[in-house]
Structure formats: C-alpha cells, structure tokens
Amino acid sequence: MKKIVITGGKELHGKIRISGAKNAAVAIIPAVILSDGVCRIENIPNIMDVNLMANILHQMGATVNRVNKTTLEIDPTRINKPEAGYELVRKMRASCYLLGSLLGKFSEARVALPGGCDFGVRPIDQHLKGFGVLGAENSVSEGMINVKAEHLRGGHVYLDVVSVGATVNIMLAAVKADGKTIIENAAKEPHIVDLANFLNSMGADVRGAGTDIIKINGVKHLNGTTYSIIPDQIEAGTYMAAAAATQGDVVLQNVITKHLESITAKLREMGVQIEEYEDCVRIRNSGRLHKCNIKTMPHPGFPTDMQPQITALLSIADGTSIVNEAVWDNRFKYVDELKRMGAKISVEGRIAVVDGIESLNAAPVKATDLRAGAAMIIAALSAKGTTYIEDIQYIERGYEDVVEKLTSLGADIKVVYTEDSVIHHTA
Ligand code: EPU
C-alpha cells in the first residue's frame, strides 16, 4: 500500500507555483468534444482526474497528444458515437459532463452513472431538468444514463439549487442548440467563467458567466482553439492553510487573488498575515491561530472544497469555532481521522463544533476523500510526531506533485510503500 508519511513541526518557507484548476480542466476537456478542430489546452494540472478524462476522450476516438507536462492537444473530430465507455467513466463525478457535450454534439448521449467523492446524496436532477428544457428526454438502463433530443433547442432554465455541475452541463448542451438559452440561478465559480471563456474562444456566444444569469446563443460550428486554464483556487487555499498551520512564510505564484478572497478573509480573521500581489500571494503566520466561524456557500461564499482544510486549522486555533457545511449533506467523515490525532470536534448534522487544542499528535490516518486528504496533510504538517496517511489515491486525484511541492517548502514528507495497512478500523 502507498502512503504519505509526514513528520510534523517543520515551518514551511519558500515559493511554489500553483497548478491549473482541476475543476476547470475536467469541464474544459469534455467541452473539446464540441469542437470541429484541434484544441490546445495549456496549464492543465497533471493529476489523476484530468488524465482519466483525457483517457476517456481517447477511448471515444479522440487523438490526445501530451505536448508537455501541462499541455494537451486534443483532436476530437474522430469521435463519432454519442457514448462513453463504462469502466473509466464511473470512476469520476465529472464524467457526467460528457452528457452535456455529447448531447450538444450529437443531440444524444449515453454515459455511465457518475462516481466521485462520497459526501452523501449527489443527485443530477438539475442537470436532467436543464436537458429537458432543451428538448432532451432521459432514461436510465444498465447503469447508463441516456439523453436524447429530436431537436435540441434553446430554453429558459431556472435551477432549483445552485449547482456547478448542472450549470456546466447545460452550458455544454446549449452552445450548439438552436436558439437562445438562459440559465437562471447559475453557479458563479471561477471554473464556470473559465469554461465560458474557453467555449467563446471556440466561437460560442456565452454571456454573463460569473453572474447568476448566463445567456447562450447557440451557434452552428465551434472551431479549434488554444486556451490556458486558470490557476487552482482550492490548491492555493490548501497551501495557504498549510503555511498558516506550520507558522510558515510562503509565496504562492500563479494565483488569481480575486478567486481567493473568501479564503484570505477567513485566514486574516484567524490572525494570518496575507499580502496580495498581481499574480502571487504571500502567507505568513507566527502566532497561535484565532478561532473563527465558517459557513460554506456557493461562490463567492467560502468554498466547501476548503472546509476540511480550514477545520484542520481550527482544530489547533485558540478557542471554539463553528463550521457550518451548507453545500453537502455529509462532508465531515474526515473528522474521525482528525480525532485520532487528538482534535476535539463534535459533529451534529451539517455543523461541526471545533474546540481548538495546543497541538495535534501524529497518528495513522486515512484520506476519506480528496479534500479530506488535504486536511490530513495540513494536520500532519503541524502535528507532533510522524503521521502515516493511507488511501492517498484520493489526494492524487486533485493535487499535482503535492509531495514535491511541500518538500521544496521544507516539509518532512515522503511516499512509502508498505505490505499492508497499519490502521485497524472498526466498522
Ligand atoms: N445538487 C442537487 N441536484 C443536482 C445537482 C446538485 O440537488 O442536480 C445539490 C448537491 O447535492 C449539493 C449542491 O447541489 O448539495 C451543490 O452541488 P454541485 O452540483 O454544485 O456540485 P458538483 O458539480 O457535483 C462541484 C465540484 C465539487 C464541489 C462542488 C460544490 C467539480 C468536478 N466538482 O461538484 O468539487 O464540492 O461543485 O462547489 O467541479 C472537489 O473538487 O473536491 C469537489 C468535490
């Protein structure tokens, strides 16, 4: 078994470069299917989820050429079936974006039901509602979702909940539909804006992305393009939290500080010093962190994808903090792992009450999902002793070169391979 081993207590110092945004990349790669030419995508993070998505397109008939570590050239013109293979697709949540892009291209799609991190129920009713407004019927058979439209046409969609995935999928289906689509109560995340910019660079007509009303005028053709993905807001936030946890002094290069505002505001409230520059940010912390309350919200609120990492920080802050998870039903599974390290946290439904302690102690723990894994890393960097983190495949899904980046900042971190688990969990 592969594990990350961290001996805590080293202050992080130095500079690292933030990679391209995972959640933008996993929307933009399927969007390439809509193009009638070759797309060159730069600043792609070299992580499992992105490589999986590129492999899915390859299996569907696209030519995928890795120009260098962070650039892919994809020629989708040989994709001629509106179907995506079962095995790879069911491994990741974002594969449901293939529904939107195949529907946009062929007016029909057949894609396996999506997998991904487990935070309770992850419905796609809003995606299907949007497709319905565009004229597509849906059905499920043999673990696959089928959507099909006789005539894909624009329509007015009002989302009942703000959903990143539904907003992406409806945009993908609508860019080549006949006429105008309006998405109200749309998600406003930076990766939604990035997807809109990518689609527009192919010749689409998408306006209003980043506000809660997106207007799309369907076009007949989309051309190939060259596009560079935005930096990853959550990767940056994770390293900000790691710097704060270790009393470090770290500069993160290749960031968009505007995207980090909600994270920066909370870290400042906790006593962390943050200096913002044009495309980098410096994080310094020298004292005990202060308590603070967090409520996760869709953008521009505090991102749910930073909730576990910030809870790890609050577990060593001075005082009692309340963390309210308002996006997902069940995103506190990792709390049991933090408790192994001595954290004092009680969870009741969507609320965690975090009683900060002086310091955490090393323990064998596991990553229960991607961001939970990031929280374990932050906890371990600050803890006394040597922590073993299992199930690091979740971390590898979303963080490029995490061990190398932290090593370059002075962390004592490595990957080891062992025969079997050191953790004995009870049911
Ligand atoms: N929801 C519905 N119906 C739907 C879709 C969503 O009720 O049809 C609900 C969900 O149950 C949830 C809320 O709406 O309570 C928000 O879900 P959303 O659709 O926005 O989430 P997602 O698109 O599945 C993306 C990110 C997640 C991130 C969420 C929220 C990608 C690939 N994934 O998921 O990222 O937590 O938005 O910001 O973009 C991560 O990167 O670690 C990650 C899990």
The model's pLDDT over 222-262, given as tens digits with 9 standing for 90+, comes to 999 999 999 999 999 999 999 999 999 999 999 999 999 99
Tell me the C-alpha distance between 415 and 389, whole Å: 9
Sheet-wide strand order for 136-141:
108-112, 144-149, 136-141
Cβ of 192 less than 6 Å from ligand 1: no
pLDDT band, very low/low/confident/very high, at 276 (cuts 50, 70, 90) = very high
Kindly compute the dihedral angle of the four CA atoms of residues 132, 99, 124, 367, in this order, to the nearest 10 degrees: -170
Cβ of 164 less than 6 Å from ligand 1: yes
% of the chain with per-residue pLDDT over 70: 96
pLDDT band, very low/low/confident/very high, at 141 (cuts 50, 70, 90) = confident
Ligand 1 midpoint to CA 71 (Å): 26
pLDDT band, very low/low/confident/very high, at 332 (cuts 50, 70, 90) = very high
Cβ of 26 less than 6 Å from ligand 1: yes
Alpha helices per DSSP H over 1-124: 22-31, 48-59, 86-89, 97-106
C-beta of residue 212 within 8 angstroms of C-beta of residue 188:
yes
Task: Work out which ligand 1 atom sits closest to the CA atom of 328.
Answer: 15
Mean pLDDT of 13-30: 98
Tell me the C-alpha distance between 150 and 103, whole Å: 11
Q: What is the pLDDT of residue 421?
A: 54
The model's pLDDT over 351-371, given as tens digits with 9 standing for 90+, comes to 999 999 999 999 999 999 999
The model's pLDDT over 59-83, given as tens digits with 9 standing for 90+, comes to 999 999 999 999 999 999 999 999 9
Cβ of 328 less than 6 Å from ligand 1: yes
The answer on pLDDT for 424 being more than 50 is: no
pLDDT band, very low/low/confident/very high, at 121 (cuts 50, 70, 90) = low
C-beta of residue 272 within 8 angstroms of C-beta of residue 337:
no
Mean pLDDT of 27-49: 97
Q: What is the pLDDT of residue 425?
A: 43
The answer on pLDDT for 285 being more than 90 is: yes
Tell me the C-alpha distance between 42 and 231, whole Å: 11
Mean pLDDT of 319-348: 97
**Kind plus residue range of the DSSP H or E element containing 201:** helix 190-201
Q: Please name the residues in contact with 402: beta carbons below 8 A apart, sequence gap of 6 or more.
A: 377, 395, 396
Enumerate domains of the chain plus CATH numbers. Answer: 2-19+231-425 (3.65.10.10), 22-228 (3.65.10.10)
Distances (CA, A) of 59 to 56, 78, 79, 278, 382: 5, 11, 9, 40, 43
Tell me the C-alpha distance between 325 and 255, whole Å: 25
Q: What is the pLDDT of residue 180?
A: 98
Mean pLDDT of 265-281: 98
Between these two residues, 410 and 119, which has the higher pLDDT value?
A: 410
- Angle at CA 262, nearest 5°, toward 293 and 228? 150
Q: What is the pLDDT of residue 91?
A: 76
Give me the half-sphere count of Cα atoms (radius 13 Å) on the Cβ side of residue 341.
36
Residue appearing with tokens 């995490």:
402
Q: Which of 338, 332, 374 is nearest to 356 (CA)?
A: 338
Ligand 1 midpoint to CA 107 (Å): 25
- 334: helix, coil or strand? coil
Cβ of 120 less than 6 Å from ligand 1: no
Mean pLDDT of 308-329: 97
Residue appearing with tokens 């190939």:
224
Q: Whose C-alpha lies nearest to ligand 1, atom 19?
A: 163
The answer on pLDDT for 394 being more than 80 is: yes
Ligand 1 midpoint to CA 68 (Å): 30
Instruction: Return the DSSP state at 195.
Output: H
The answer on pLDDT for 7 being more than 60 is: yes
Q: Ligand 1 pocket test: which of 56, 98, 163, 324 has the largest number of ligand atoms within 8 Å of its C-beta?
A: 163
Cα 190 off chain centre by: 11
Tell me the C-alpha distance between 57 and 76, whole Å: 8
Tell me the C-alpha distance between 166 and 185, whole Å: 11
Q: Please name the residues in contact with 161: beta carbons below 8 A apart, sequence gap of 6 or more.
A: 126, 185
**Which of 39, 117, 280, 292 is labelled catalytic?**
117
**Kind plus residue range of the DSSP H or E element containing 199:** helix 190-201
The answer on pLDDT for 35 being more than 70 is: yes
> Rounded to two decimals, what is the model's pTM?
0.96
Cβ-based neighbour number of residue 358 at 10 Å? 9
Q: What is the pLDDT of residue 426?
A: 37
Cβ-based neighbour number of residue 7 at 10 Å? 17
Residue appearing with tokens 């967090």:
294
| Annotation marks residue 117 as catalytic | yes
- 9: helix, coil or strand? coil
Tell me the C-alpha distance between 202 and 142, whole Å: 35
Cβ of 305 less than 6 Å from ligand 1: yes
- 63: helix, coil or strand? strand
Tell me the C-alpha distance between 131 and 189, whole Å: 21
C-beta of residue 306 within 8 angstroms of C-beta of residue 264:
no
pLDDT band, very low/low/confident/very high, at 161 (cuts 50, 70, 90) = very high
Q: What is the pLDDT of residue 117?
A: 53
Q: What is the pLDDT of residue 88?
A: 80
Q: Mean of the per-residue pLDDT values for the chain? A: 95
pLDDT band, very low/low/confident/very high, at 87 (cuts 50, 70, 90) = confident
**Kind plus residue range of the DSSP H or E element containing 252:** strand 249-253
% of the chain with per-residue pLDDT over 90: 90
Ligand 1 midpoint to CA 164 (Å): 6
Tell me the C-alpha distance between 385 and 23, whole Å: 34
In angstroms, what is the C-alpha Rg of the chain? Answer: 21
Mean pLDDT of 105-125: 78
The answer on pLDDT for 292 being more than 80 is: yes
Ligand 1 midpoint to CA 161 (Å): 10
